[in-house]
Amino acid sequence: MSEKIEVENVNQPGHVGRVDAAKYHAMKAAMLNVMTHDAPGQTAAEIKEAAKAHLPGDLFPGGATSGWWAKCVQLDLEAKGVIGRAATKPLRFYLT
């Protein structure tokens, strides 16, 4: 059984989920590596695509499930105030 980590969701305050810690930390590191501090930042699709190059192949073979994990980490980091959301269309995200 893999180690789990608790994650928050900016859209559901107070709700805590549990996800695979290794995949969470790998995606978080990849996203923080490619995101900018400059608002308005990048779209979720741009972040997900750029992060794929930084993901370990054993956890994300061929980028499998990276979209779900990018969204999970994005919502958690927003809830924790690590990243911000610009009021643009499409939405853009940046490091705070």
Residues 24 and 29: their CA atoms lie apart, in Å, by: 9
Q: What are the angstrom distances between the C-alpha of 78 and each of 7, 8, 10, 64, 84? A: 11, 9, 6, 23, 6
Which tens digits make up the pLDDT trace of 26-73? 999 999 999 999 999 999 999 999 999 999 999 999 989 999 999 999
Cβ count near 11 (within 10 Å): 9
Name the band, by pLDDT with cuts 50, 70 and 90, for residue 78: very high
Side-chain-side CA neighbours of residue 6 (13 Å): 6
What domains are defined for the chain? 4-95 (1.10.10)
Side-chain-side CA neighbours of residue 44 (13 Å): 16
